[in-house]
Protein backbone atom coordinates (compact mmCIF):
# COMPACT_ATOMS: atom_id res chain seq x y z
CA UNK A 1 0.00 0.00 0.00
CA UNK A 2 1.51 3.41 -0.90
CA UNK A 3 2.29 5.55 2.12
CA UNK A 4 -0.01 8.53 2.47
CA UNK A 5 1.46 11.94 3.09
CA UNK A 6 0.54 13.84 6.24
CA UNK A 7 -2.25 15.81 4.62
CA UNK A 8 -3.89 12.73 3.11
CA UNK A 9 -3.53 10.91 6.39
CA UNK A 10 -5.18 13.74 8.26
CA UNK A 11 -8.04 13.79 5.80
CA UNK A 12 -8.55 10.04 6.09
CA UNK A 13 -8.41 10.07 9.89
CA UNK A 14 -10.63 13.15 10.21
CA UNK A 15 -13.25 11.46 8.06
CA UNK A 16 -13.07 8.27 10.13
CA UNK A 17 -13.49 10.27 13.34
CA UNK A 18 -16.30 12.49 12.05
CA UNK A 19 -18.21 9.59 10.53
CA UNK A 20 -18.19 7.87 13.91
CA UNK A 21 -19.68 10.99 15.50
CA UNK A 22 -22.37 11.23 12.82
CA UNK A 23 -23.21 7.52 13.30
CA UNK A 24 -22.14 6.66 9.75
CA UNK A 25 -20.01 3.59 9.13
CA UNK A 26 -16.34 4.55 8.80
CA UNK A 27 -13.76 2.44 6.87
CA UNK A 28 -12.68 1.22 10.31
CA UNK A 29 -13.32 2.07 13.93
CA UNK A 30 -11.28 5.12 14.97
CA UNK A 31 -8.84 4.95 17.88
CA UNK A 32 -8.28 8.14 19.89
CA UNK A 33 -6.32 9.35 22.86
CA UNK A 34 -7.07 12.11 25.30
CA UNK A 35 -4.45 11.90 28.01
CA UNK A 36 -2.92 13.87 30.82
CA UNK A 37 0.53 13.56 32.32
CA UNK A 38 1.10 9.85 32.81
CA UNK A 39 3.94 7.44 33.43
CA UNK A 40 3.60 5.41 30.24
CA UNK A 41 3.82 8.58 28.17
CA UNK A 42 6.99 9.75 29.94
CA UNK A 43 8.70 6.36 30.22
CA UNK A 44 8.01 5.62 26.53
CA UNK A 45 10.11 8.68 25.73
CA UNK A 46 12.80 7.97 28.33
CA UNK A 47 11.65 10.61 30.82
CA UNK A 48 10.37 10.56 34.38
CA UNK A 49 6.89 11.87 35.18
CA UNK A 50 8.54 14.84 36.91
CA UNK A 51 10.56 15.60 33.73
CA UNK A 52 7.49 15.91 31.53
CA UNK A 53 5.51 17.75 34.21
CA UNK A 54 7.98 20.59 34.60
CA UNK A 55 9.16 20.94 30.99
CA UNK A 56 6.56 21.53 28.24
CA UNK A 57 9.02 20.63 25.46
CA UNK A 58 9.73 17.26 27.04
CA UNK A 59 6.03 16.68 27.58
CA UNK A 60 5.11 17.37 23.98
CA UNK A 61 8.10 15.39 22.70
CA UNK A 62 6.73 12.48 24.72
CA UNK A 63 3.25 13.07 23.30
CA UNK A 64 4.55 13.15 19.70
CA UNK A 65 6.59 9.98 20.28
CA UNK A 66 3.49 8.28 21.69
CA UNK A 67 1.43 9.44 18.70
CA UNK A 68 4.12 8.13 16.34
CA UNK A 69 4.68 4.83 18.10
CA UNK A 70 0.99 4.08 18.45
CA UNK A 71 -1.11 5.08 15.48
CA UNK A 72 -4.30 6.81 16.60
CA UNK A 73 -6.84 8.70 14.50
CA UNK A 74 -7.14 11.74 16.72
CA UNK A 75 -5.63 12.72 20.01
CA UNK A 76 -4.09 15.21 22.32
CA UNK A 77 -2.41 15.19 25.71
CA UNK A 78 -2.55 18.02 28.22
CA UNK A 79 0.46 18.79 30.41
CA UNK A 80 -1.65 19.88 33.35
CA UNK A 81 -4.75 19.63 35.49
CA UNK A 82 -7.99 21.57 35.24
CA UNK A 83 -8.09 25.08 36.67
CA UNK A 84 -11.64 26.23 36.03
CA UNK A 85 -11.73 28.52 39.03
CA UNK A 86 -10.58 31.24 36.60
CA UNK A 87 -13.67 30.86 34.41
CA UNK A 88 -14.95 34.40 35.00
CA UNK A 89 -11.80 35.86 33.37
CA UNK A 90 -13.74 35.26 30.15
CA UNK A 91 -15.71 38.48 30.67
CA UNK A 92 -12.83 40.91 31.03
CA UNK A 93 -9.95 39.01 29.48
CA UNK A 94 -11.36 36.62 26.87
CA UNK A 95 -8.01 36.36 25.07
CA UNK A 96 -6.27 34.73 28.04
CA UNK A 97 -9.14 32.95 29.81
CA UNK A 98 -8.77 29.62 27.93
CA UNK A 99 -5.00 29.49 28.56
CA UNK A 100 -5.38 29.90 32.31
CA UNK A 101 -7.95 27.11 32.42
CA UNK A 102 -5.14 24.61 32.97
CA UNK A 103 -2.77 24.37 35.92
CA UNK A 104 0.70 23.20 34.92
CA UNK A 105 3.59 22.37 37.25
CA UNK A 106 5.45 25.65 36.56
CA UNK A 107 2.20 27.55 37.21
CA UNK A 108 1.71 25.58 40.42
CA UNK A 109 5.20 26.67 41.52
CA UNK A 110 4.25 30.30 40.87
CA UNK A 111 0.70 30.32 42.24
CA UNK A 112 1.17 27.80 45.07
CA UNK A 113 -2.36 26.54 44.50
CA UNK A 114 -3.93 24.25 47.06
CA UNK A 115 -5.81 22.23 44.44
CA UNK A 116 -3.01 20.17 42.94
CA UNK A 117 0.02 18.06 43.96
CA UNK A 118 2.99 17.51 41.65
CA UNK A 119 5.86 15.08 41.05
CA UNK A 120 9.20 16.49 42.05
CA UNK A 121 7.38 18.76 44.51
CA UNK A 122 4.82 17.32 46.91
CA UNK A 123 5.05 13.88 45.24
CA UNK A 124 7.82 11.52 44.17
CA UNK A 125 9.47 11.88 40.74
CA UNK A 126 7.61 9.08 39.01
CA UNK A 127 4.17 9.75 40.41
CA UNK A 128 1.41 11.37 38.35
CA UNK A 129 0.21 14.83 39.34
CA UNK A 130 -3.02 14.74 41.28
CA UNK A 131 -5.98 16.99 41.76
CA UNK A 132 -7.32 16.96 45.29
CA UNK A 133 -9.34 20.18 45.46
CA UNK A 134 -10.32 21.77 48.71
CA UNK A 135 -12.88 23.89 50.53
CA UNK A 136 -12.45 27.58 49.84
CA UNK A 137 -15.95 28.80 50.62
CA UNK A 138 -18.01 28.03 53.71
CA UNK A 139 -21.57 26.79 53.51
CA UNK A 140 -22.87 30.08 54.94
CA UNK A 141 -21.04 32.03 52.25
CA UNK A 142 -23.08 30.62 49.33
CA UNK A 143 -24.91 33.95 48.94
CA UNK A 144 -21.65 35.61 47.91
CA UNK A 145 -21.39 33.14 45.03
CA UNK A 146 -25.05 33.42 44.12
CA UNK A 147 -25.11 37.22 44.11
CA UNK A 148 -21.89 37.83 42.22
CA UNK A 149 -19.96 34.77 41.04
CA UNK A 150 -17.19 36.85 39.47
CA UNK A 151 -16.53 38.86 42.63
CA UNK A 152 -16.77 35.79 44.83
CA UNK A 153 -14.44 33.60 42.75
CA UNK A 154 -11.82 36.30 42.26
CA UNK A 155 -11.96 38.15 45.55
CA UNK A 156 -12.85 35.38 48.00
CA UNK A 157 -11.98 31.98 46.52
CA UNK A 158 -8.77 32.73 44.58
CA UNK A 159 -6.89 34.32 47.50
CA UNK A 160 -7.83 31.28 49.61
CA UNK A 161 -6.96 28.75 46.92
CA UNK A 162 -3.69 30.24 45.63
CA UNK A 163 -1.23 30.82 48.45
CA UNK A 164 0.71 33.36 46.34
CA UNK A 165 -2.40 35.51 46.09
CA UNK A 166 -3.32 35.24 49.77
CA UNK A 167 -2.65 38.96 50.19
CA UNK A 168 -4.08 40.39 46.97
CA UNK A 169 -2.53 43.85 47.35
CA UNK A 170 0.94 42.60 48.17
CA UNK A 171 4.19 42.55 46.22
CA UNK A 172 4.09 38.72 46.36
CA UNK A 173 0.71 38.69 44.67
CA UNK A 174 1.63 41.21 41.96
CA UNK A 175 4.87 39.35 41.24
CA UNK A 176 3.05 36.02 41.06
CA UNK A 177 0.50 37.42 38.61
CA UNK A 178 3.23 38.77 36.33
CA UNK A 179 5.09 35.45 36.41
CA UNK A 180 1.85 33.57 35.77
CA UNK A 181 1.28 35.71 32.67
CA UNK A 182 4.78 34.97 31.40
CA UNK A 183 4.27 31.28 32.01
CA UNK A 184 0.93 31.29 30.18
CA UNK A 185 2.70 32.79 27.14
CA UNK A 186 5.38 30.08 27.24
CA UNK A 187 2.72 27.43 27.63
CA UNK A 188 0.64 28.79 24.74
CA UNK A 189 3.68 28.76 22.45
CA UNK A 190 4.50 25.16 23.43
CA UNK A 191 0.93 24.01 22.73
CA UNK A 192 0.93 25.83 19.38
CA UNK A 193 4.17 24.11 18.34
CA UNK A 194 2.86 20.72 19.46
CA UNK A 195 -0.31 21.11 17.42
CA UNK A 196 1.75 21.88 14.28
CA UNK A 197 4.01 18.89 14.92
CA UNK A 198 1.08 16.57 15.50
CA UNK A 199 -0.45 17.83 12.30
CA UNK A 200 2.83 17.19 10.45
CA UNK A 201 2.77 13.53 11.42
CA UNK A 202 -0.74 13.10 10.05
CA UNK A 203 -3.00 13.75 13.03
CA UNK A 204 -6.11 15.80 12.16
CA UNK A 205 -6.65 18.96 14.19
CA UNK A 206 -9.79 20.51 15.61
CA UNK A 207 -10.39 23.55 17.78
CA UNK A 208 -10.66 22.22 21.34
CA UNK A 209 -11.92 23.75 24.56
CA UNK A 210 -12.67 22.42 28.03
CA UNK A 211 -15.47 23.30 30.39
CA UNK A 212 -17.05 21.98 33.59
CA UNK A 213 -20.60 21.44 34.62
CA UNK A 214 -21.01 24.26 37.19
CA UNK A 215 -21.80 21.64 39.85
CA UNK A 216 -18.39 20.05 39.23
CA UNK A 217 -16.78 23.47 39.33
CA UNK A 218 -18.30 24.01 42.77
CA UNK A 219 -17.25 20.51 43.94
CA UNK A 220 -13.70 20.68 42.61
CA UNK A 221 -12.75 24.32 43.08
CA UNK A 222 -15.01 25.93 45.64
CA UNK A 223 -16.64 23.71 48.28
CA UNK A 224 -14.67 20.43 48.08
CA UNK A 225 -16.12 17.22 46.72
CA UNK A 226 -17.48 15.70 49.96
CA UNK A 227 -19.00 18.98 51.10
CA UNK A 228 -20.74 19.48 47.78
CA UNK A 229 -22.25 16.00 47.95
CA UNK A 230 -23.54 16.88 51.42
CA UNK A 231 -24.77 20.28 50.20
CA UNK A 232 -27.22 18.43 47.94
CA UNK A 233 -28.87 17.42 51.23
CA UNK A 234 -27.87 20.29 53.50
CA UNK A 235 -28.30 23.34 51.28
CA UNK A 236 -29.83 22.14 48.01
CA UNK A 237 -31.44 25.46 47.07
CA UNK A 238 -28.28 27.46 47.65
CA UNK A 239 -26.21 24.94 45.73
CA UNK A 240 -28.64 25.05 42.83
CA UNK A 241 -28.75 28.85 42.76
CA UNK A 242 -24.95 29.00 42.86
CA UNK A 243 -24.58 26.53 39.99
CA UNK A 244 -27.14 28.45 37.96
CA UNK A 245 -25.29 31.70 38.67
CA UNK A 246 -22.08 30.18 37.26
CA UNK A 247 -23.73 28.73 34.13
CA UNK A 248 -23.75 31.99 32.07
CA UNK A 249 -19.98 32.17 32.51
CA UNK A 250 -19.59 28.55 31.41
CA UNK A 251 -21.68 29.19 28.30
CA UNK A 252 -19.74 32.32 27.49
CA UNK A 253 -16.43 30.55 28.11
CA UNK A 254 -17.21 27.79 25.63
CA UNK A 255 -18.57 30.23 23.08
CA UNK A 256 -15.54 32.50 23.10
CA UNK A 257 -12.84 29.85 23.55
CA UNK A 258 -13.97 27.93 20.47
CA UNK A 259 -14.17 30.90 18.09
CA UNK A 260 -11.67 30.40 15.29
CA UNK A 261 -10.33 33.51 13.53
CA UNK A 262 -10.79 33.18 9.75
CA UNK A 263 -7.03 33.08 9.10
CA UNK A 264 -6.72 30.05 11.42
CA UNK A 265 -9.50 28.02 9.80
CA UNK A 266 -7.22 26.33 7.26
CA UNK A 267 -5.27 24.80 10.17
CA UNK A 268 -8.17 22.57 11.08
CA UNK A 269 -9.11 19.32 9.37
CA UNK A 270 -12.12 18.94 11.66
CA UNK A 271 -14.25 22.04 11.43
CA UNK A 272 -16.53 21.52 14.41
CA UNK A 273 -14.86 22.57 17.64
CA UNK A 274 -14.71 19.84 20.29
CA UNK A 275 -15.69 20.81 23.80
CA UNK A 276 -14.35 18.49 26.46
CA UNK A 277 -16.47 18.15 29.61
CA UNK A 278 -14.78 15.98 32.25
CA UNK A 279 -17.60 15.08 34.65
CA UNK A 280 -16.91 14.27 38.26
CA UNK A 281 -20.04 14.20 40.42
CA UNK A 282 -22.10 12.16 37.93
CA UNK A 283 -21.35 8.68 39.26
CA UNK A 284 -21.96 9.73 42.85
CA UNK A 285 -25.39 11.24 42.37
CA UNK A 286 -28.67 9.51 42.94
CA UNK A 287 -30.59 9.57 39.63
CA UNK A 288 -33.11 11.86 41.29
CA UNK A 289 -30.39 14.38 42.15
CA UNK A 290 -28.77 13.88 38.75
CA UNK A 291 -31.99 14.64 36.94
CA UNK A 292 -33.13 17.48 39.14
CA UNK A 293 -29.85 19.36 39.53
CA UNK A 294 -26.89 18.15 37.49
CA UNK A 295 -28.37 17.10 34.17
CA UNK A 296 -30.40 20.28 33.38
CA UNK A 297 -27.23 22.40 33.40
CA UNK A 298 -25.21 19.83 31.46
CA UNK A 299 -28.05 19.64 28.95
CA UNK A 300 -28.04 23.41 28.52
CA UNK A 301 -24.31 23.34 27.80
CA UNK A 302 -24.75 20.48 25.33
CA UNK A 303 -27.67 22.15 23.60
CA UNK A 304 -25.73 25.40 23.23
CA UNK A 305 -22.87 23.41 21.66
CA UNK A 306 -25.13 21.57 19.25
CA UNK A 307 -26.85 24.80 18.30
CA UNK A 308 -23.48 26.43 17.54
CA UNK A 309 -22.15 23.43 15.58
CA UNK A 310 -19.74 22.26 18.26
CA UNK A 311 -19.31 18.66 19.36
CA UNK A 312 -19.40 18.07 23.12
CA UNK A 313 -16.97 15.32 24.12
CA UNK A 314 -18.23 14.35 27.53
CA UNK A 315 -16.18 12.15 29.80
CA UNK A 316 -18.47 10.29 32.19
CA UNK A 317 -16.23 9.38 35.09
CA UNK A 318 -16.94 6.15 36.94
CA UNK A 319 -20.00 4.06 36.21
CA UNK A 320 -22.55 6.24 34.42
CA UNK A 321 -24.96 3.39 33.66
CA UNK A 322 -27.78 4.60 36.00
CA UNK A 323 -28.05 7.87 34.08
CA UNK A 324 -27.97 6.61 30.47
CA UNK A 325 -31.62 7.32 29.72
CA UNK A 326 -31.05 11.09 29.84
CA UNK A 327 -29.08 10.84 26.55
CA UNK A 328 -32.30 10.08 24.73
CA UNK A 329 -33.37 13.69 25.32
CA UNK A 330 -30.56 14.84 22.98
CA UNK A 331 -30.65 15.04 19.19
CA UNK A 332 -29.04 12.04 17.46
CA UNK A 333 -25.41 11.88 16.43
CA UNK A 334 -24.29 15.19 17.91
CA UNK A 335 -22.06 14.30 20.83
CA UNK A 336 -19.30 11.93 21.87
CA UNK A 337 -20.15 10.11 25.08
CA UNK A 338 -16.83 8.98 26.56
CA UNK A 339 -17.30 6.42 29.33
CA UNK A 340 -14.87 5.23 31.98
CA UNK A 341 -16.42 2.00 33.21
CA UNK A 342 -20.10 1.62 32.39
CA UNK A 343 -21.97 -1.60 31.73
CA UNK A 344 -21.13 -1.65 28.01
CA UNK A 345 -23.97 -3.98 27.10
CA UNK A 346 -26.38 -1.51 28.66
CA UNK A 347 -24.66 1.39 26.85
CA UNK A 348 -25.12 -0.43 23.53
CA UNK A 349 -28.73 -1.19 24.35
CA UNK A 350 -29.63 2.41 25.16
CA UNK A 351 -27.31 4.45 22.96
CA UNK A 352 -26.62 2.40 19.81
CA UNK A 353 -27.88 4.39 16.85
CA UNK A 354 -28.40 7.42 19.05
CA UNK A 355 -25.01 8.80 20.11
CA UNK A 356 -21.38 8.05 19.36
CA UNK A 357 -19.66 6.43 22.33
CA UNK A 358 -15.98 6.31 23.21
CA UNK A 359 -13.71 4.36 25.57
CA UNK A 360 -13.62 0.63 26.36
CA UNK A 361 -9.90 -0.08 26.85
CA UNK A 362 -9.54 -0.74 30.58
CA UNK A 363 -6.11 -0.54 32.21
CA UNK A 364 -6.34 -4.16 33.36
CA UNK A 365 -6.38 -5.36 29.75
CA UNK A 366 -3.42 -3.18 28.82
CA UNK A 367 -1.44 -4.27 31.86
CA UNK A 368 -2.11 -7.96 32.21
CA UNK A 369 -4.11 -9.07 29.15
CA UNK A 370 -2.61 -11.43 26.57
CA UNK A 371 -2.38 -10.27 22.95
CA UNK A 372 -5.22 -12.62 22.06
CA UNK A 373 -7.35 -11.24 24.86
CA UNK A 374 -6.77 -7.68 23.65
CA UNK A 375 -7.77 -8.65 20.11
CA UNK A 376 -10.87 -10.51 21.31
CA UNK A 377 -11.93 -7.60 23.51
CA UNK A 378 -11.53 -5.02 20.74
CA UNK A 379 -13.48 -7.23 18.33
CA UNK A 380 -16.24 -7.76 20.87
CA UNK A 381 -16.57 -4.01 21.48
CA UNK A 382 -16.60 -3.12 17.77
CA UNK A 383 -19.21 -5.84 17.16
CA UNK A 384 -21.30 -4.62 20.08
CA UNK A 385 -21.79 -1.33 18.20
CA UNK A 386 -21.81 -2.90 14.71
CA UNK A 387 -18.74 -0.82 13.88
CA UNK A 388 -20.85 2.34 13.91
CA UNK A 389 -20.83 5.24 16.37
CA UNK A 390 -17.95 3.81 18.36
CA UNK A 391 -14.50 5.26 19.05
CA UNK A 392 -11.99 3.06 20.81
CA UNK A 393 -10.06 4.85 23.54
CA UNK A 394 -8.52 4.47 26.98
CA UNK A 395 -10.80 4.19 29.98
CA UNK A 396 -8.92 6.97 31.79
CA UNK A 397 -6.83 10.01 30.96
CA UNK A 398 -3.83 8.26 32.40
CA UNK A 399 -1.73 5.31 31.27
CA UNK A 400 0.34 3.81 34.08
CA UNK A 401 3.90 2.58 33.58
CA UNK A 402 2.79 -1.07 33.81
CA UNK A 403 0.92 -0.83 30.47
CA UNK A 404 2.50 -3.18 27.91
CA UNK A 405 3.38 -1.45 24.65
CA UNK A 406 2.65 -4.65 22.72
CA UNK A 407 -0.91 -4.61 24.04
CA UNK A 408 -1.47 -1.14 22.62
CA UNK A 409 -0.09 -2.32 19.30
CA UNK A 410 -2.35 -5.37 19.48
CA UNK A 411 -5.40 -3.12 19.92
CA UNK A 412 -4.40 -1.06 16.88
CA UNK A 413 -3.76 -4.17 14.79
CA UNK A 414 -7.08 -5.64 15.87
CA UNK A 415 -8.90 -2.56 14.55
CA UNK A 416 -7.08 -2.84 11.23
CA UNK A 417 -7.92 -6.50 10.96
CA UNK A 418 -11.58 -6.06 11.87
CA UNK A 419 -12.06 -3.01 9.66
Residue 132 Cβ, how far from other proteins at the closest point, in Å? 6
**Based on CB atoms, which residue is closest to other proteins, 252 or 341?**
341
Does residue 34 contact residue 45 with C-beta atoms inside 8 Å? no
Residue number with CB closer to other proteins (194 or 392): 392
Cα-to-chain-centroid distance, residue 81: 9
Interacting residue with other proteins among 225, 276, 315, 390 (CB under 8 A)? 225
Total interface residues for other proteins by CB under 8 A = 41
Confirm or reject binding of residue 315 to other proteins (CB under 8 A).
no
User: Whose CA is closest to 213, among 84, 305, 123, 327?
Assistant: 84
Q: Interface residues for other proteins in 242-301 (CB under 8 A)?
A: 283-287, 289
DSSP symbol at 223: B
- Give which of 292, 286, 279, 348 is closest to 318, Cα–Cα: 279
Given candidates 96, 230, 308, 371, which one binds other proteins under the rule CB under 8 A? 230
Give least dist CB 108 to other proteins, A. Answer: 15
Q: Residue 114 Cβ, how far from other proteins at the closest point, in Å?
A: 13
Q: d(Cα 30, Cα 413) in Å, to the nearest integer?
A: 12
Site for other proteins in 109-128 (CB under 8 A): 117, 123-124, 127-128
When the beta carbons of 211 and 403 are compared against other proteins, the nearer one is 403
Distance CA 338, CA 356 (A): 9
Query: According to CB under 8 A, which one of 139, 190, 330, 367 is a site residue for other proteins?
Result: 367
- Measured from the CB atom, the residue of 24 and 226 that comes closer to other proteins is 226
232 touches other proteins by CB under 8 A = yes
> Minimal distance in Å, beta carbon 48 to other proteins?
13
Neighbours of 273 (CB within 10 A): 21
Task: Check residue 312 for interaction with other proteins (CB under 8 A).
Answer: no
Window 132-161: residues binding other proteins (CB under 8 A): 132
Q: For other proteins, what does the binding mask look like between residues 324 and 363, x meaning CB under 8 A?
A: ----------------xx--------------------xx
Residue 284: burial class (beta carbons within 10 Å; 0-12, 13-18, 19+): middle
- Work out whether 372 is an interface residue with other proteins (CB under 8 A): no
Does position 369 bind other proteins by CB under 8 A? yes
Three-class secondary structure assignment of 104-158: CHHHHHHHCECCEECECCCECCCCCCEECCCECCCHHHHHHHHHCHHHHHHHHHH
Among 92, 143, 226, 237, binds other proteins (CB under 8 A): 226
If one counts every other C-beta atom within 10 angstroms of the C-beta of residue 178, the result is: 11
Among 168, 296, 318, 333, binds other proteins (CB under 8 A): 318
Question: For residues 181-215, b (16+ Cβ closer than 10 Å) or e, as one string?
Answer: eebbeebeebbeebbeebbeebbbbbbbbbbbbbb
How far CA 282 is from CA of 123, 215, 219, in Å, comes to 28, 10, 11
Q: Which is nearer to other proteins, 38 or 355 (CB)?
A: 38
Binding interface with other proteins (CB under 8 A): 38-39, 117, 123-124, 127-128, 130, 132, 225-226, 229-230, 232-234, 283-287, 289, 318-319, 322, 340-341, 362-365, 367-369, 395-396, 398-402
Amino acid sequence: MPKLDAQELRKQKAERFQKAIRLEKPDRTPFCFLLGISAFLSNNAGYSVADISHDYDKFFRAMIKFAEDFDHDWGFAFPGLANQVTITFIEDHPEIAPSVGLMTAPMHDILQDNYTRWPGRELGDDIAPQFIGGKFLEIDEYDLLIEDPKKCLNEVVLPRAYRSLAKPDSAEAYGALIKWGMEVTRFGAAIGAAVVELSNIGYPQAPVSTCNNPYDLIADFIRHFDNTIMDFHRAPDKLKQAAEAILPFSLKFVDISTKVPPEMKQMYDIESPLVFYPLHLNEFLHPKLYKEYYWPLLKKLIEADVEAGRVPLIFFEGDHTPHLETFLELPKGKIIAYFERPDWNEVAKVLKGHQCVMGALPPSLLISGTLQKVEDHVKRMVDLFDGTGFILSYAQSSLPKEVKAENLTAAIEALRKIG
